[in-house]
Homo-oligomer: A and B are copies of this chain.
Amino acid sequence: MGIEDRKQRHKEDLKETILKAAKELFLEKGYEATSMRNIAERIEYSPATIYLHFKDKNEVFYALHKEGFRMLVTAFKTLETVADPFERIKAMGHVYVNFATENPDFYQLMFVMHEPMEVLELDLTLCWDEGDDAFRVLLETVIECQKKGYFKGFEPNGFSFLVWSTVHGIASLRTSGHLDHVRQVKTQMADINAVTKHTMDTFIEMIERLK
């Protein structure tokens, strides 16, 4: 089936080409400004062609959403070298917030917008494996911490949700710009990076005290 293979490969090449163009435009101009016509124009196909490979715009961005999670899980991989689970959970917080800072558009796509998640809601045979993977890394680290005697008396799921909520809160208030508006009025801090860092440091100090 050499011909079948080649055809299949060509088909997937085009799908990859569409996603490459979609990603470029998304990072250049954001979600709203990236139209199906825009993507089609860049790859020199008609808009209708995209619909032969993706159900709709949400499905295109769901693919990018998954790519973002693969990037995040890769970033988490580097944490395996951190032996102490408590140090690892601190490092995870930094990796998470840094990821959001360095890839604000991806972060919004992954954790703020719910358009890409609608694909999951409409097709219930699909699962949010990527999100689950990322959460499991956190949960396992929390459990490991508790085995060493940290965070005594906390239910691990609840504690993990709390840690996630906190770093997500910092990341999303930062990337949406709301944190910066309050900074301007309430603090003498020079820039948004300082506020983010200060808030993260306060969080680390907080969990240090639960040690």
Contacts and interface: CB of A to CB of B under 8 A. Distances in A.
A69 to B, nearest CB: 12
A52 B154 CA distance: 57
A154 B202 contact: yes
Contacts of A14: none
Contacts of A201: 158
A165 B170 contact: yes
Nearest to A153: B205
Interface in A144-187: 153-155, 157-159, 161-162, 164-170, 172-173, 176-179, 181-182, 185-187
Nearest to A32: B115
Nearest to A210: B209
Given A120-B181, A162-B166, A164-B169, A157 B176 contact: no
A129 to B, nearest CB: 9
A177 B117 contact: yes
Those 4 A-B pairs whose CB atoms lie nearest each other, nearest first:
A169-B169, A165-B169, A158-B202, A168-B169
Contact of A172 (B172, B179, B198, B209): B172
A139 interface: yes
Given A161-B198, A165-B199, A112 B172 contact: yes
A114 interface: yes
A173 B182 contact: no
A177 B118 CA distance: 10
A117 B187 CA distance: 19
Nearest to A161: B199
A78 B195 CA distance: 30
Given A162-B166, A169-B170, A209-B209, 15 more contacts: A111-B173, A112-B172, A132-B185, A135-B186, A153-B205, A155-B202, A157-B187, A157-B198, A158-B198, A161-B195, A161-B198, A161-B202, A165-B199, A169-B169, A169-B172
Contact of A166 (B135, B169, B205, B209): B169
Interface in A118-136: 120-121, 127-128, 131-132, 135-136
